[in-house]
Chains A and B, each alone.
Chain A
Amino acid sequence: MSSIYSEIILDYYRYPRNKGSLPHPQIQARDTNPLCGDIVEMQLELDEKNTVKDVKFNGQGCAISQASASMLTELVKGKTVDDVRKISKEDVLSLIGGQLTAVRLKCALLSLKVLKTGVYDYIGSTDATKEELSGL
């Protein structure tokens, strides 16, 4: 059986890209995964066209949660808020690759949940967005 722990995942875990914090983020959110104690915080800085100018994440936890957060920051950079909103579960999972068990899926999707929480807070949340977040 091939391991989920590919070289790429481990590389992002050991040498995380875009880790740190931003001085003036317009969007920020934080969440934890009570099961593992994973913590992920996301900060986004936008320009006047609502494009993601800079993005940082911070946190601690398992390789899956931290690597996926780091990969996600690279994915959103340069995208508009509207595009960020459209990022799906599948997009994140394809970044990670490999088969995850249901429990570990929570680790992988924590960063996406945090990102979307922040974005919906910024553009305004509806019942539909709340539903979407609770499904993550």
Chain B
Amino acid sequence: MLKQRWAAASNSTSQKATSHAVADTASYRKARNRQPGLAVPKNTTPTTKPPITFPRQFAQGTVRGYATQKQATAYIHRKKQYDVDKVRQDFPILNRVINGKPLAYLDSAATTQKPRAVIDELTRFYNEYNANVHRGVYKISEEATAAYEEARAKIARLINANSPNEIIFVRGTTEAINLVAQSWGRTNVGLGDGIVLTEMEHHSNIVPWQLLARQKGAHLKYVGLTDDGHLVHDDFRQHLESGGIKLVTLTHVSNVLGTINPVREYIREAHMYGCRVLVDAAQSVPHMPVDVQDLDCDFLAFSGHKMCGPTGIGVLYAKKVLLEEMPPFHGGGEMIREVHLYESTWKDPPYKFEAGTTNIAGAIGLGKAVDYVSGLGLRNIQAHEQELTEYAHDRLGKVKGLRIYGPFNPKTKAGVISFNLGDVHAHDMATLLDEDGIAVRSGHHCAQPLMERLGVSSTTRASVYVYNNEDEIDRLIESVERAGRIFKI
């Protein structure tokens, strides 16, 4: 049923789309936006062999995998002077002294620090308008509801969703993916169907699919990696061609290698085969402009705590047509329209998926965090991180015996740098860096299959965000060199 509608809808819109697309990209986008998710250009219906390259109007001169984000609201990526010293003043935790040295926090890929605006808003919520949302008819409940829904709207604007109703509040990326696996997956994936993943996925984008595959008798198929940490496109095409693929699920930015995957191109290709696509955007939405309509992804998941927001709040974006078809994930209060003894009916999305009292303070805090990163401008954040990454690559590359994993060219990656120094174990490295007040991550970074592919048991990972500066990179290098001296590399 769904399939027929999908085919019919894509036919009707695609004719319109392709006739204008070549000449006028804007009108193509507009046509597509009327029915989000249903438009697949006609020239992309499966023929004998799908083209590998993409029409010019899709490319827009972008760097590998970067979203173009033409339509998003201007304030999100206004280009302006980036004053990192001023940004640092917004983060109270940076005043901490660790082992006699100022904290150099280089673990933002795990979780970011919080600006004062977010911390203050959480306090203000509990001090002034703490109440349950959507239920009370009294003043503070109305205030809380307004703030909660405003946060949803801010997130919709940030990622350019068609409507705030496509934004579901969840605990984090992990819950978002589990929601898709259990709600959409259990109704759409069956015996013998395939799910395509990549070898660079975080455990949170592997294990939910293993669970689903076991429940339904489906297969998991992996896209391999090149030695410099890019996806092997041929693997992807082969899996699609082998048929029976229901879903492609991949990360936008690798949390270990920093690779920015060309998700936009992969999504287009997957759609030619009628597959749905989930993008794990935990490492991309906080760091660069991401436009879900431009990507045309079916699902997109990210966490609040990796973008200056509180922990325990995250977002699942899904196209409205999908949300309407999907059964609820959790049952309980708030998600129902009517409850009888033996059956119930559901509210419309997004409420259908928000059972029980949600993390109200978290959502409001995340709304403030979105204000904060939007205020800095995601283009600016991306440029700032790019500068730091290039600087760090340049300096780390000169340390004797040091190996950086992932893309060789720092211009093609995000601000995540995984490395090992000689035979120094990552945990020893991280302990030595901690002695100098530098916080980095060490271990398998919840990506054991990737570690296996790299042939290492663990790596040390430094990751940057809005508040990091070159001084901190200098301190990192100095401390890494000290570790090298201690271990006599």
Contact = CB atoms under 8 A, between A and B. Distances in A.
A5 B444 CA distance: 22
A107 B427 CA distance: 9
Interface in B414-469: 424-428, 431-432, 434-435, 442-444, 451, 457-458
B357 interface: no
Contacts of B444: 37
A5 B428 contact: yes
Contact of A36 (B425, B432, B434): B425
B61 interface: no
Interface residues of A, number: 16
Contacts of B100: 1
A3 B435 contact: yes
Nearest to A37: B457
B425 A61 contact: yes
- Main secondary structure, interface of B, reads mixed
B434 A101 contact: yes
A1 B428 contact: no
B457 A5 contact: no
A62 interface: yes
B27 to A, nearest CB: 54
B interface, how many residues as a size bin? 20 to 34
B75 interface: no
Nearest to B457: A37
Contacts of B426: 36, 62
A3 B458 contact: no
B425 A63 contact: yes
B2 interface: no
B486 interface: yes
Contacts of A61: 425, 457
A104 interface: yes
Contacts of A107: 427
A10 B487 contact: yes
B99 interface: yes
A37 B431 contact: no
A52 B488 CA distance: 35
Given A3-B432, A62-B427, A104-B427, A36 B443 contact: yes
Nearest to A36: B427
B486 A60 contact: no
Contacts of A104: 427, 431
Given A3-B435, A36-B443, A37-B444, A10 B486 contact: yes
Interface string A10-31: 1000000000000000000000
Of A1, A62, A64, A104, the most chain B CB neighbours within 10 A belong to A62
Interface of A: 1, 3-5, 10, 35-37, 60-64, 101, 104, 107
17 contacts: A1-B100, A5-B428, A5-B431, A5-B432, A36-B425, A36-B426, A36-B443, A36-B457, A36-B458, A37-B444, A37-B451, A61-B457, A62-B427, A63-B425, A63-B428, A64-B431, A101-B434
List the 5 closest A-B pairs by CB distance, nearest first. A62-B425, A37-B457, A62-B427, A36-B427, A63-B428
